[in-house]
A and B are shown apart, each in its own frame.
Chain A
Amino acid sequence: MNTSAYRTKSRRGQSVYAPGPGEENIESHTLAILVRNEPGVLARVIGLFSGRGYNIDSLSVAETDHAGHLSRITVVCSGTLAVIEQIKAQLERTVVVQEVKDLTVTGPYVDRELGLVRVVGQGEKRIEALQIAESFRARVVDSTLDSFIFEITGTAEKVNAFIDLMVPLGLAEVSRTGTAALARGGITERIKE
C-alpha cells in the first residue's frame, strides 16, 4: 500500500523540523472566510491575527448571505508557508468560522479592489492625471476646478500602480476597500477543502 499520500511533504526523504531555506520564503495568500454573522466575529478573526503575530495585508468584510446569516471576510495575509497553514488551521477551528478557502492554493480566482483617489492640481498635471486615469479605466466620480476623485477597480497591484503614478500629479488622499475575491468557474456549492 502506498502510504506516502498521508505523509506531510518532507524533503530529502526524511522529515525535517527546522524550516529549511525554501520555507523561509514569504508568500502572500488570499483567504476567503465564511463566518456566522454575529457580534464580535470580526474582532475574533482580527484578534487571532494580532494575538498570534500574523500579518494582514488587506481585509474586506460584509454580509453576503442575509438569510443564512453569513458574512464573507477576504483576507490577504503573508507569511511562510508554515505560517499560512497555521493561520488557516487556527481560523478553521474557530467556532464562528464556517469555512476557510485558500484561493491562492485552490485557484484560479478573481480578486478586485476598489480605490478612491483624490488628486489636486491644475494645468498640465491635471490633464496628465486624466489621461492616466483613462488608460487605467478609472472613472471620475467628483471633480472641481482643481481636483478629481478617481474611482479605480482592479487587482491590488493595479490600484497600487495607479496611486504611484498620481503621486507627482498631486495625490492628496486615498481610500481603499481591501481585496474582495472569488474562485472562478462553475462551482455553485461552497466546497470545504
Chain B
Amino acid sequence: MTPKNAPGLKTVEADKSKAAPAKKMTGAEIVLRALADQGVEVMFGYPGGAVLPIYDALFQQDKVRHVLCRHEQGAAHAAEGYARSTGKVGVILVTSGPGATNAVTGLTDALMDSIPLVCITGQVPTFLIGTDAFQEADTTGITRPCTKHNTLVKDVNDLAGAIHEAFHVARSGRPGPVLIDIPKDIQFAEGKYKEAADSMAHAYFPKTDPDMDAIEAAVELMAGAKKPVFYTGGGIINAGPAASKALRELAALTGFPVTSTLMGLGAYPASDKQWLGMLGMHGTFEANWAMHDCDVMINIGARFDDRITGRTDKFSPHSQKIHVDIDPSSINKNIRVDIPIVGDAGKALEAMIAVWKKRGFRADQEALSQWWKQIEKWRDKKCLAYQGSDSIIKPQYALERLRAHLAKDKRKQFISTEVGQHQMWAAQFLPFNDPNRWLTSGGLGTMGYGLPAAIGAQVAHPDALCIDVAGEASILMNIQEMSTAVQYRLPVKIFILNNQWMGMVRQWQELLHGERYSESYTDSLPDFVKLAEAYGGIGLRAETPAELDGVIEQMLKTDKVTIVDVRVDQRENCFPMIPSGKAHNEMILAPDASQFDKKLV
C-alpha cells in the first residue's frame, strides 16, 4: 500500500519462514474462521492498508460474504439495518485511521439504539502504535464512549477469544456495538484458534430473568388500575418476536391501551383498536394525554427519553409506574418508578401473563370503559389531520398514498427513514404491524441512516420490499450508497419527501426562533432523477397529487434501486408537537400553531 506499512510485511515474511506447527492459522484466518463459527453470513465493509491481510483471507474462503459499501458510515448503518431486520449481530470490517473514524457515527447510533454490532478495525502494526504512523488513530480511545465494549488485540492467541466474546457481549443483555482493533502484524502472525465455548474471559452474563415477586407486585397494581397504559419501547423488539407476541397477548388479556416509542413501533399492531399511536414529541394527542392522565403506567423496554417525557417534573404526575428494562442503569435514571423490574422484556411479559392468569385477575371493566371513553374524546381531536390540497402534494398525503399501495403489496415490507419531519410523518402515517420492520435512527437521530439501513435490510431479505422514506437533505449524507445498491442489485426504494428545506430545522426556526431561517434552505439541490440514473438506478418524480399514485405504482415494480422525488409542500409543519421543555398536556396541534408564542425560545 504505502511504504510506511512495509515493516509490517517484512516481519511477517520472517515469521512465515519459521516452520509453523500444524493447525496454526494467521490472525487474518482466525478472524474469518471466528466469524464463520459465529454464524456470520455477510458483513459490510471497506478495505484499506491496515486490513489487507483480512481482506486477503476473505478472498480465499466462501463462508462469509462481504458487501462493499461506499463509505464506512454507510457500512455501519447497513450492518445496523441488517441487524435490526434480522435480530442477528451486524458485522463491519474497516481499516485503521479514517476507516475507523468514519465508522464512529454508526457505532454511536448503534449504542444509542441498542443494536448489536461487531466492528473489526485494522490498526497499524503493534510496533508502530503511538508513533503517529500513517493512518494511525487511537481507535479504542476514540470509540470507548461509543461502544458497549472495545479491545485492542496485541497477541494473536487472544484474537479468536476476543472475537467470540465480542459477539457474546454485543447480543447479551442490552445489545450494543463492540469493536475489536487488530494491528496488522497480528493479522499476519500465526497463532492458535480458540472455540467460542472456551472464550468467556469476562463472564459477562447480565440478568435477564425478572424477579417474580416484583412481577407479582406489578400485576397486582395493573389489576387494580383504573386508567392504565402500556408504554412500550425498543426493548420489546430487541427481545425477539416472542416478546411482541407476549405484548399482544397481555394487551388482549387486560384490555389496556398501548402506545410506543419511535423505536418500539411494530411490536404492537398499529391496526389494532387498543393502539394509541406513537407517543412523545411528535406523538399522538391521545397517546400523550393517556400518559399524562394515567394512574398506572406499564413501561416495557423503553427508557423515559427526554423526547418522550417532555418536562420531567410534570411527567405523568398521578401515576404509579412499573418499569421493565434489561439495563439496570435505565431504571430511575430520568424518572423515578415505583416497581422496577430488571430483565428481558419478553420474559417479563410472559411472567406477567402467567401471573395474571394464575391469580384469575380481571381488569376493572367499569373504570376501564370510562378510561376508553376519555381516550375516544382525545382521539376525536384527529390530531394527525392536515389541510389537503389538489395542487400541491402534502407530505402526509404522499405517505397515506404510499400506505394504501403497501396494503395491497404482498411482500414483506421494511421501512427505514432518514431524520427530520419525514421521519416523524412516516412514524405517524405508515402502519407498523410487525416487529423488526421499522428501521430508524431514534437515539442519535442520524441523517444519512436510512439508505444504508435499507440496503442492509435488503441484503438480509432479498425478496422483500425495502423503502427508505427520506428527506432531500438527509439523503445526500450517504447518497454514495446508491452505488452499493446498484452493485449488489438491491432494489431499494428511496421515497424522498422533497420540501427543499431541512424541514425539521425550518419548523423549529419558525416556531421557536422568530422565523429566522438561518441556513436551513438547501440551494442547488441535485436533480434526483438524473442522479439516480447516473448511478445506474431509476429516477421518478411526482409534482402534483394527481401524479402520485402512478409514480408509487411504478416504484413498487422496479427491480433496481429507485429514487422517487416527491415534490411536497415546502411549508408544512409536523404536528402534534410538544415543544421541548413542555409537559405532555401542553402539546400543540396544527390549528394551535398560529397562536403559538413565537418569541418563546
Chain A residues in contact with chain B, CB under 8 A? 1, 3, 5-8, 10, 14-18, 36, 38-40, 43-44, 47, 51, 82, 85-86, 89-90, 92-93, 95-96, 98
Contact = CB atoms under 8 A, between A and B. Distances in A.
Contact of A6 (B145, B151, B335, B339): B339
Interface in B196-247: 201-204, 206, 211, 213-214, 216-217, 220-221
Contact of B336 (A10, A90, A93, A95): A10
A88 B339 CA distance: 19
Nearest to B201: A36
Given A6-B339, A8-B339, A89-B328, 8 more contacts: A7-B338, A8-B337, A8-B338, A8-B340, A18-B312, A39-B152, A86-B333, A90-B329
B136 interface: no
Residue among A5, A8, A86, A96 with max Cβ neighbours from chain B (10 Å): A8
B336 A17 contact: yes
CB-CB nearest 3 A-B residue pairs = A18-B313, A3-B217, A89-B329
Contacts of B148: 95
Interface string B323-341: 0000111011101111110
A69 to B, nearest CB: 9
Nearest to B172: A95
A38 B327 CA distance: 24
Contacts of B30: none
Interface residues of B, number: 44
Contacts of B541: none
B206 A93 contact: yes
Contacts of A5: 213
Interface string B158-175: 000000000001000110
Nearest to A85: B332
A16 to B, nearest CB: 7
Interface string B377-396: 00000000000000000000
Interface of B: 140-141, 144-145, 148-152, 169, 173-174, 201-204, 206, 211, 213-214, 216-217, 220-221, 312-313, 315-317, 319-321, 327-329, 331-333, 335-340
Residue among A43, A90, A95 with max Cβ neighbours from chain B (10 Å): A95
Nearest to A90: B329
Given A40-B140, A96-B202, A15 B329 contact: no
B144 A92 contact: no
A142 to B, nearest CB: 35
B216 A15 contact: no
B225 to A, nearest CB: 14
A10 B313 CA distance: 15
A95 B174 CA distance: 12
Contact of A51 (B145, B150, B214, B339): B145
Contacts of B315: 17
A95 B149 contact: yes
B584 to A, nearest CB: 13
B343 to A, nearest CB: 13
A93 B331 CA distance: 12
A15 B204 CA distance: 33
A8 B332 contact: yes
A38 B315 CA distance: 42
Contact of A47 (B145, B313, B335): B145
Contacts of B173: 93
A93 B329 contact: yes
A15 B321 CA distance: 8
Nearest to B150: A40
B327 A93 contact: yes
Contacts of A6: 211, 213-214, 217, 339
B169 A95 contact: yes
Contacts of B203: 98
A136 to B, nearest CB: 41
A10 B338 contact: yes
B168 to A, nearest CB: 10
B332 A17 contact: no
A95 B216 contact: no
Nearest to B335: A17
Contacts of A95: 148-149, 169, 202, 204
Contact of B141 (A16, A17, A43): A43
Contacts of A38: 151
A7 B332 contact: no
Contacts of B217: 1, 3, 6-7
27 contacts: A3-B213, A7-B217, A8-B332, A8-B336, A8-B337, A8-B338, A8-B339, A8-B340, A15-B320, A15-B321, A17-B335, A17-B336, A36-B202, A40-B151, A47-B145, A86-B332, A89-B328, A89-B333, A92-B329, A93-B173, A93-B174, A93-B206, A93-B329, A95-B149, A95-B169, A96-B202, A98-B203
A15 B140 contact: no
Contacts of B332: 8, 82, 85-86
Contacts of A17: 312-313, 315-317, 335-336
A8 B337 CA distance: 6
A3 to B, nearest CB: 4
A93 to B, nearest CB: 5
Contacts of B329: 86, 89-90, 92-93
Nearest to B211: A6
A10 B315 CA distance: 16
A37 to B, nearest CB: 12
Contacts of B316: 17
Contacts of A18: 312-313
A36 B149 CA distance: 13
A15 to B, nearest CB: 5
A77 B332 CA distance: 19
Given A1-B216, A10-B336, A47 B144 contact: yes
B141 A7 contact: no
A82 B312 CA distance: 15
Contacts of B213: 3, 5-6
A163 to B, nearest CB: 34
B3 to A, nearest CB: 29
A119 to B, nearest CB: 39
A101 to B, nearest CB: 15
A39 B330 CA distance: 27
B335 to A, nearest CB: 5
Contact of B328 (A40, A82, A92): A92
A18 B309 CA distance: 12
Contacts of A89: 328-329, 331, 333
Contacts of A93: 173-174, 206, 327-329
